[in-house]
Structure 1
Amino acid sequence: MEHISTNQIVKIGVVVDNIEQAVKHYAELFQIEPPVIRIPKSDVPVQIPEDGAYTWYRGEYRNVRCKTAVIPLEPIYIELIEPFDEPSPWNEFKERHGQGVHYVAFHVEGFQEHIDLLENKGMGLIQKTEKGHERYAYFDTASKLGVTLEFKERGNQ
């Protein structure tokens, strides 16, 4: 593989300080119903690949948690993210930059091939998450591209 298999952005991830306020502002601005804010449980045990669903972040398997809300703006959507005060790519971004656009996401086919492509170009893997029905990965692309890239693949691969 020599290049990314798509050129269509499907999602923009925006880190915010206060997701409740951000949701309110986006809903008012776009005249939409305020979306549901998803808040993950805090007592979930760390999963590993053998469990079928897991998150690998900066060299270890761990839970990475954040509050999220989806703003549908067809054909893409904005994912608002309020990180918890614990290690995660979103908290890492917030500590360095404050609020702002953290990533742009693309649906890809050939998940591992895309990981290999970016790693071979010197843009290493930051986080990889498998959920069974989908998988996604963040890459260390900000210094070269000005933003983090996310690749997302749906279906059991």
Structure 2
Amino acid sequence: MKPTHIEHIGIAVKDLESSIQFYEEKMGLFCYRVEEVPEQKVKTAFFKIGQTKIELLESTSPDGPVGKFVEKHGEGLHHLAFAVEDLQENLAELEEKEVGLIDRTPRIGAESLNIAFLHPKSTFGVLTELCEQTK
């Protein structure tokens, strides 16, 4: 596996609108996209800094993954995402190397990327996402 770059850093927030306002007014960034991903029970907002993005995540349901995360850990760093080519091949390679996978096959995430998550127990406590541009 050879990631090409950090795709984004995911930050769990309780209130997406006030978080967007903070990043725009206090940090001088521009929110270029807000999107809901119903399958993941989350609403996202994106900011770009160089080649890397910041993704704010607000749960749309308390039983969604981000809702559970915020309930247990509070707001903060949720995941680190790496861009890769041939996501399915990378997942097979990682599974062969006994890395714990949350997703064995890619699924569609925000910005129509193919995504898959690695289990934090295999990545030193960091929820890690792999992302691939759809073709």
TM class, shorter-length: 0.7 to 0.9
RMSD: 2.5
Q: Distance in 1 between matches of 2:93 and 2:4?
A: 15
Of 24, 33, 37, the match for 2:34: 37
User: Does the residue aligned with 2:71 lie in a helix, a strand or coil?
Assistant: helix
Q: Distance in 1 between matches of 2:3 and 2:33?
A: 29
Per the normalisation by structure 1, the TM-score is 0.70
Contact kept, 8 Å, 1:14 with 1:79, in 2: the verdict is: yes
Q: Is 1:122 equivalent to 2:99 in the alignment? A: yes
User: Does the residue aligned with 1:147 lie in a helix, a strand or coil?
Assistant: coil
Query: What does 1:15-26 correspond to in 2, within 5 Å?
Result: 15-26=12-23
Larger CA Rg, structure 1 vs 2? 1
How far residue 38 of structure 1 moved from its aligned partner, in angstroms, is: 2.7
Q: Is 1:9 equivalent to 2:6 in the alignment? A: yes
Please list every run of 5 or more consecutive structure 1 residues that lacks an aligned counterpart in the other structure.
43-62
Please list every run of at least 4 consecutive aligned residues from structure 1 whose deviation after the TM superposition is greater than 6 angstroms.
none
Which deviations, in whole Å up to 9, do the C-alpha atoms of 1:26-50 show, x marking residues without a partner? 111222345453345x6xxxxxxxx
Q: Is 1:140 equivalent to 2:119 in the alignment? A: yes
Q: Which amino acid aligns with 2:108?
A: E
Cα 1:34–1:114 change in 2 (3 A) is closer
The residue that corresponds to 1:111 in the other structure is 87
Pairs aligned (count)? 131
Cα 1:117–1:22 change in 2 (3 A) is same
Per the normalisation by structure 2, the TM-score is 0.80
